[in-house]
Amino acid sequence: MKKEVLKVVKIGGKLIEDEVKFAEFLNDFVALEGPKILVHGGGNLATEIAGKLGYKTQMFEGRRITDADSIKVITMVYGGFINKNIVAKLQALQNNAIGLSGADGMSIVSKKRPLKEVDFGFVGDVEKVNSEFINSLLKQNITPVFSAISCTAEGLLLNTNGDSVAAEIAKAMSSIFETELYFCFEKKGVLADAENDDSVIDKINKEKYQQLLEEKVISDGMLPKLHNCFQALEGGVKNIFLGDFRLLKNESVYTKISN
C-alpha cells in the first residue's frame, strides 16, 4: 500500500526574524495539505541575546560551541520565546500546533557530542526519534513544532543543529510515511557563487556535493545543512528541497537533492 506523504519543514532563524517573510511562510505552511511537522532554528537571536548578557558566541563549521551559559540561553530562546511564538501564530491561523523540545514525549533522544579536536560542550547528536509519539500527534491533526533542542536518556538538554533535527525526524518518520524534507532559509537555494544570490544550483547529487566541498563553494551553515540532506536521502527520505521563504509555494527557484 502506498504510504501517505509527510512534509517536514525546517525554517532558519534569519527568516523567522523577518516579520513579513515569516508571515508569508507561515501562511504557505498552513496551506500545505496532509500531515506536516515544523522544525525551527533561531541561531541569530541566541547570538544576539547571549551578546547582551556578555557571553561570546563561537561557531565551528556551522555548529555552535555551547557552554553552560549558552545552553541556558538556548533553552530560553529556542524552547521558550521562538517556539511559543510560532505555535501562537499557527493557532491564530487555525492550525492546531504543539511546541516541543526533544524532552517532550522523549521525542528526540541524543548523546553528547564526543570530545574530538573541538569540544562542542552541550551539543547533542540525535540517537533516536520517537516516531510513534510524533505520529500520535499527527493522527490527532496536531502539527508538532520542534525547537533545536534534544535530550539525553539521563535528562540532559542539548543544543542540536536545527537542520540535523529536521533530517533525523524525516528519516525516522519514513518508516510510517513517504517523507519530504524542505529547508527554508535566507537564500534561494544552494549557490554556485555565494556572492551571487541568483546562482542557484537546481540539482545536487552525491558527486556534485563532493565537488562543491572540494571547491569550497559551501561553508558555514551550509556545511551541516548539506551533510544532513545526504544523511536523510540515505535514510529513506524521498524528496529534499532547499530554498527561501517561498519554497512551499512551488513556484520559486530551489535546489533539489537527489541520488
Residues flagged as binding site for substrate: 42-43, 64, 159
- Any contact of residue 148 with ligand X2W (CB under 6 A)? yes
- Any contact of residue 63 with ligand X2W (CB under 6 A)? yes
Give the footprint of ligand X2W on residues 217-256 (CB under 6 A). Answer: 221
**Residue 199 near residue 193, CB atoms below 8 Å:** yes
Residue 222 contact among ligand X2W, ligand ADP, none, beta carbon within 5 to 8 Å by kind:
ligand ADP
In whole angstroms, what is the distance from residue 59 CA to residue 161 CA? 11
The residue within the footprint of ligand X2W, chosen from 64, 171, 188, 227 (CB under 6 A), is: 64
> Could you tell me how many residues of this chain bind ligand X2W (CB under 6 A)?
17
Residue 252 burial (CB count, 10 A):
15
SS3 labels along 90-158: HHHCCCCEEEECCCHHHCEEEEECCCCCCCCECEEEEEEECHHHHHHHHHCCCEEEECCEEECCCCCEE
State whether the Cα torsion 199-203-205-208 is positive or negative: negative
**Residue 186 near residue 12, CB atoms below 8 Å:** yes
Residue 71 contact among ligand X2W, ligand ADP, none, beta carbon within 5 to 8 Å by kind:
none
* Least Å from the CB of residue 134 to ligand X2W: 19
Which listed range, 31-39, 125-133, 149-157, 188-196, lies at the site for ligand ADP (CB under 6 A)?
188-196
- Any contact of residue 46 with ligand X2W (CB under 6 A)? yes
Give the footprint of ligand ADP on residues 40-99 (CB under 6 A). Answer: 41, 43, 62
- Any contact of residue 156 with ligand ADP (CB under 6 A)? no
Strands 143-146 and 36-40: parallel
The residue within the footprint of ligand ADP, chosen from 49, 65, 176, 194 (CB under 6 A), is: 194
Q: Which helix (H) or strand (E) holds 164?
A: helix 162-173
* Least Å from the CB of residue 11 to ligand ADP: 7
Instruction: List the grid coordinates of 2.
Output: 502506498
User: 224: which residues sit within 8 A by CB, 6+ positions away?
Assistant: 61, 62, 63, 161, 163, 164
- Any contact of residue 102 with ligand X2W (CB under 6 A)? no
In whole angstroms, what is the distance from residue 50 CA to residue 172 CA? 33
> Could you tell me how many residues of this chain bind ligand ADP (CB under 6 A)?
19
Instruction: Tell me what percent of the chain is helix, strand and coil, each rounded to the nearest 5.
Output: 40, 25, 35
Residue 42 contact among ligand ADP, ligand X2W, none, beta carbon within 5 to 8 Å by kind:
ligand X2W
Which listed range, 1-9, 160-168, 188-196, 239-247, lies at the site for ligand X2W (CB under 6 A)?
160-168
- Any contact of residue 178 with ligand ADP (CB under 6 A)? no
**Which of residues 4 and 61 has its CB atom nearest to ligand X2W in the complex?**
61
The site for ligand ADP (CB under 6 A) is made up of 12-14, 41, 43, 62, 185-187, 190-191, 194, 217-222, 225
